[in-house]
Structure 1
Amino acid sequence: MSYLSPLLSLPGAVAGEEPDEGVAAHYGDLFREQRALADGTGFVDLSHRGVVAVSGEDRLSWLHLLLTQHVSELPPHQATEALVLSANGHIEHALYLVDDGETVWAHTEPGAQQALIAYLESMKFFYRVDVADRTEAYAVVYLPAGSIAPTPQGVVARETPHGRELFLPRERLKEFADAHGPAAGVLAHEALRIEAHRPRHGLETDHRTIPHELGWLGSAVHLDKGCYRGQETVARVHNLGRPPRRLVFLHLDGSEVRVPGHGDPVRLAADGPDGRAVGFVTSSARHHELGPIALALVKRNVPADAQLLAGEDTAAAQEIVVAP
């Protein structure tokens, strides 16, 4: 990745790895950074994420036809999230958006904005909208829930129960860091995301993931609207109540040196380490209070009380995120 955040010059900064290249994984003390965020202090540099802006008088009614979320009457400054699905209902994009009264601002996974914009441009037709890639001009900055740091004047913010996300002009990023530190890395941000059972596109998803498997129906899909691509699959699976897989939260054995990573298999403990995989680890972290934790996607018919093995042979107790 060619992008390098200017905050990688801060003391102790260690660069992140894919998909979080270009920003700091941590600044020398992972658990201190987690505790600071949990206490409502500090911030996280997410300036590697893609930023898309949609303006024009038809922006909300137009996006309403394309996204899984009900946004035609979205009030200014109210944060929401939405998905773009394939014709078969598989997740293609996850957007975290807010309307400032004139423009819808959204951030996406790093590098995903180009494909998203290409899709949006192909669907403009006669609608009075303008779609722009604002990634080079704006950086996403996360402030934890409870933060007393003010939103800088003129900066658009997404206020959510999990924290506040700023669309900050890039030239103000270093100034913001100097005023509102200490900085926390993306590993601390990820640990708290996993603890909160919040899925992330590209980690909790693969080419066939549908929203029901991840619990995204509650936050990113509005079940009382139609007219978007993939809606038939959403309605059918919701009415039948039988998504093929389900997201689980894993408490991992803390005596293991290595924490299983993305893509590592999940097996039934009763079948042993040579048993058939019933799922895979999607995200993992070392948490400052819970120890090693993970999210995993497993087959729907895996018993809710089954003990699991993650990776080679790490014992894992599951906590239900999406009911079987």
Structure 2
Amino acid sequence: MSRSPILTRHSEGGAVAGPGEFHSSETPWHFGDPLGEQRAAATGVIVVDRSDRAVIEIPGEERLSWLHTISSQHIAALPDRRSAENLSLDANGRVEEHFVMTDIDGITWVDTEGARGEALAGFLAKMVFWAKAQPAPRTDMRVLTLVGPGAVTGPVAELLEIPADADVYQAGNLPETHHEDEPLGFWRRMPPLGENRDLPVVDLVLPEYVLLRWWDALVEAGARMAGSWAYDALRVAARRPRLGADTDERTIPHEVDWIGGPADQGAVHLDKGCYRGQETVARVHNLGKSPRRLVLLHLDGSSDQRPTTGDPVTAAGRTVGRLGTVIDHYEWGPIALALVKRNVGADVELTIGTEEPVSARIDPDSIREDDRVQAGRAAVERLRSGSVTPGS
């Protein structure tokens, strides 16, 4: 992507660009007070420039039924002005793409990580065949994100005309920005962030030529300018993973809590079949458990050095996981997400990295034990015990 107009405008007034890779150098990382920007979201509302997101437009009368057949989410009958999270898996059930989709006024809008935009657009174009759907990249579209209670109540919500009873994944046109030829922007509610997952989130997807106009209007209405540092800190605290940063080439959906339909704020609907990778999803859900799980780590903050995304997580000299997003939180200090082996408990002493090792511990509240009786496993046990006759 090109440099965001917001970063260009504010670079001499305190905006600092991200250091690159998972912290985009083309958008603001912070505006001089990254911890204060996070704190502002707890009681008010912040606005974050996420113009590094890639946006794809999909018109066509068969767009939803077609997407339904090639992805993990149940969206064949997705209502107008609703959103969902979705995945593309490989044949072994490993995550290749994660994207958010919103259907509004006869068009499905898809957005994903900027680094994956070209690959996702290419995959969608390749899979159209005879379907009446025309996926096309929209390099002129940008994403802004509001976080905090003021995103859904008060002057900012009134400016956007968000109904007081709007729920997660509900969407609507931005006021006075619907041209008769094409929509010129929409808002959508997303799953909440923060350590208690109680901070409302609203995305705005809009053309670049109205980006600064909306940015100014939101700030005038009371939103505080914030960088991607604040957004990522609140995301990590909520244990919400990011494709590429918190996943690797082996990640399956169960490991990162992407299981569930839109009502569960997931990306893989368990009552849906006939998509690539579905066999692995069903097998893990019915018979086993994922080999790894996503956890929140608290890092030793005594050093100014921070480990790097992708560093190995070790216990007693043995590699037990992979480090994901690393960020400084305004209350907790340095924290990170990590994929660790399922048998690693919260009491295990961990070390991150090799050259300058950093000690870490797992936040026990981030470990979610799955104690349900799996249908497939229960059936196997009944067969073994002789309580069920095979074939009955």
TM-score range, shorter chain: over 0.9
Output the CA distance in 2 between the equivalents of 1:40 and 1:60: 36
Contact 2:82 2:103 in 1 (8 A): yes
TM-score if structure 1 supplies the norm length? 0.93
Q: Which residue of 2 aligns with 1:156?
A: 186
- Cα offset, 1:264, TM superposition: 1.9
Output the CA distance in 2 between the equivalents of 1:114 and 1:291: 35
Query: Size of the alignment, in residue pairs?
Result: 317
Larger Rg: 2
Root-mean-square deviation (CA), in Å? 1.6
Give yes or no for the alignment of 1:294 onto 2:339: no
Q: Which residue of 1 aligns with 2:207?
A: 169
1:222 aligned to which of 255, 269, 289:
269
Output the CA distance in 2 between the equivalents of 1:321 and 1:66: 31
Once the two structures are superposed, residues 116-168 of structure 1 have per-residue CA deviations (whole angstroms, 9 ceiling, x without a partner) of 1111111112211111111x221011011421423332322221232111111
Contact 1:256 1:314 in 2 (8 A): no
The one-letter amino acid paired with 1:318 is: D
User: Bigger shift: 148-157 or 105-114?
Assistant: 148-157
- Cα offset, 1:304, TM superposition: 4.2
Equivalent position SS for 1:208: coil
Contact 1:97 1:106 in 2 (8 A): yes
1:178 aligned to which of 216, 220, 226:
216
Unaligned runs of 5+ in 1: none
Output the CA distance in 2 between the equivalents of 1:191 and 1:238: 30
- 1:16-35 correspondence to structure 2 within 5 Å: 16=18, 17-19=20-22, 20-35=24-39
- 1:1-324 correspondence to structure 2 within 5 Å: 3-8=2-7, 9-10=9-10, 11-16=13-18, 17-19=20-22, 20-134=24-138, 136-146=139-149, 147=151, 148=154, 149=156, 150-151=159-160, 152-153=174-175, 154=177, 155-162=185-192, 163-181=201-219, 182-218=224-260, 219-268=266-315, 271=316, 275-311=317-353, 312-319=357-364, 320-323=366-369
Output the CA distance in 2 between the equivalents of 1:240 and 1:322: 18
Equivalent position SS for 1:130: coil
Output the CA distance in 2 between the equivalents of 1:214 and 1:248: 9
The one-letter amino acid paired with 1:159 is: R
- Cα offset, 1:114, TM superposition: 1.4
Output the CA distance in 1 between the equivalents of 2:131 and 2:65: 9
Equivalent position SS for 2:68: helix
Contact 1:307 1:316 in 2 (8 A): yes
The one-letter amino acid paired with 2:33 is: D
Residues 1:138 and 1:24: Cα distance change in structure 2 (over 3 Å): same
Unaligned runs of 5+ in 2: 161-173, 178-184, 193-200, 261-265, 371-392
